[in-house]
Structure 1
Amino acid sequence: MKNSAIRRALLTSALVSMLGGSVTVVAPAQAQFGGIVYDPTNYASNVLQAARALQQVNNQIKQIQQAATSLINEAKNLASLPVSALSTLQAQVDHTRQLLGQAQRIAYDVQSIQGAFEGRYKGTALTGPHTQMVANAKARWEDSVGALEDTLRVQAGVVGNLGGTRGAIDTLVGASQSASGALQAAQAGNQLLALQSQQLADLTAAIAAQGRAQALDAAGRAAIEAEARERFRRFRGKN
């Protein structure tokens, strides 16, 4: 009993000495678990650095995605239109030109027209012998009939082109609406303009053919009137 009391007294005295003395207790900055030193400050710093690195990676991924999207859009803008109606339009224009080139008798040529009018529509052609006047009248009639036939053929060719024109319009409008980029849209628009030009060419050809027929008919009637006056003059001269 005495020994236990003595030990307790000694422990109490030691604790009092420690508390009243100059000994200072400092919290440890590191802890050791199973031989591994754990530093909370270093761990927090590493976590922050990892988070920043992850954010940088995410930003780089977004930049790569944006660059890829931009490249895809540029590729679409540079893609050519997969359809073309130019061959059809060129064939229609060539067909109309062939019809105009097949004009009978007085063709669409300045020298040809001048020669024909000098030979049977004016001047000495209207004041020659009776047989010549009859021949010229027949030639003028053939000119008018041929011009009317040519007009009908050109008009029929223009009407025949309408089917191909409608098909080309449907194709180009569909391609324009489904265009994936600026180049395809521009090419579709250019082909639609070419189609419009082809229609204007057909319209011009039809108007030219009709105008030719009307001009020859009017010239023929004027020649008939001139010949009638000449015949009347000769009739009066004989009397």
Structure 2
Amino acid sequence: MRQVVFLCATAALLSLGVPQARAQWAVYDGANHVQNVLIAARTLQQIDNQITSLANQAQMLVNQGRNLASLPLSTLSTLQSTISQTTALLAQAQNIAYSVQSVEQKYQQAYTSVSSGMSDSALFSQAQTRWQNSVGGFEDALKLQARVVGNIPSDNSAMTQLVSASQDSTGALQAAQAGNQLLALQSRQLSDIQAELAANGRAMALERARNAATEAESEAQYQHFSQYNAYSPTSVSMFGSRGN
């Protein structure tokens, strides 16, 4: 009996002094997990969009840099040098320069002042001057033509370089600058043609003026000669003869 009571008391003490063990289980919330995955996906998509936007902005800046890049080729100095050489040839015009005042003065002296009252020496001097003017005009035209023809190889080289630069341009500014330089080259070629036409026209005008003045000179010489009395035959004694 005592043993039974002891065992019961021992069991009671053990039940009071030793805490009871409790089972712990992890709880899985599926809805919360799905929500977290969606948030992470949205965040990743936003980051990807930002990266794409930054890449587009960087490419836009690169394109703007290309569009603002200047053309490394410039033919302006060559064109200006060629125009200066053509202008210098025009300024070297012989006898009668490309000047309204010069034309009026020299033309009046040598082409329109022929009259019958002039001496033979004066007529000859004016004819010599007109001949020199014509020869000088043709020489000036030939020199200018030689200059224009000499510009053809350099023009061809410049045109080839500009067309190549335009085709290889990296931006709008380079293409526009190449186009502008091509237009400048064409303008300089047109100025060459204009100068050549002026030189040829000057030479032909001087020659026509010389021909007209020559006709006037011939008329003046005829009038000068006609002023003398006509020849009258007279008897001439020869060898002491008295007409027998």
**Alignment RMSD (CA, Å):** 1.5
Task: Quote the residue 1:82 is aligned against.
Answer: 72
Structure 2 SS opposite 1:123: coil
Task: Quote the residue 2:198 is aligned against.
Answer: 208
Counterpart pick for 1:99 among 71, 84, 89: 89
For residues 49 and 145 of structure 2, the distance between their equivalents in structure 1, rounded to whole angstroms, comes to 67
Give the deviation of 1:104 after TM superposition: 0.8
For residues 126 and 159 of structure 1, the distance between their equivalents in structure 2, rounded to whole angstroms, comes to 46
Larger radius of gyration: 2
User: 1:223 aligned to 2:213?
Assistant: yes
Give the deviation of 1:41 after TM superposition: 2.2
Task: Quote the residue 2:103 is aligned against.
Answer: 113
Which shifted more, 137-146 or 67-76?
A: 67-76
For residues 48 and 31 of structure 1, the distance between their equivalents in structure 2, rounded to whole angstroms, comes to 27
TM-score by structure 1 length? 0.83
Task: Quote the residue 1:144 is aligned against.
Answer: 134
Whether the 8 Å contact between 1:77 and 1:184 is mirrored in structure 2 is yes
Q: Which has the higher helix share?
A: 1
Residue 79 to residue 31, structure 1, CA distance change in 2 (3 Å): farther
For residues 142 and 31 of structure 1, the distance between their equivalents in structure 2, rounded to whole angstroms, comes to 126
Residue 42 to residue 94, structure 1, CA distance change in 2 (3 Å): same
Unaligned runs of 5+ in 1: 1-29
Task: Quote the residue 1:39 is aligned against.
Answer: 29
TM-score by structure 2 length? 0.81
Give the deviation of 1:126 after TM superposition: 7.0
User: 1:61 aligned to 2:14?
Assistant: no
Structure 2 SS opposite 1:108: coil
Identity of matched residues, %:
49
Task: Quote the residue 1:236 is aligned against.
Answer: 226
Give the deviation of 1:38 after TM superposition: 3.8
Greater than 2 Å deviation, 4+ residue runs: 37-41, 123-127
For residues 67 and 48 of structure 2, the distance between their equivalents in structure 1, rounded to whole angstroms, comes to 29
Task: Quote the residue 1:49 is aligned against.
Answer: 39
Residue 126 to residue 75, structure 1, CA distance change in 2 (3 Å): farther
Q: How many corresponding residue pairs?
A: 206
Whether the 8 Å contact between 1:147 and 1:213 is mirrored in structure 2 is yes
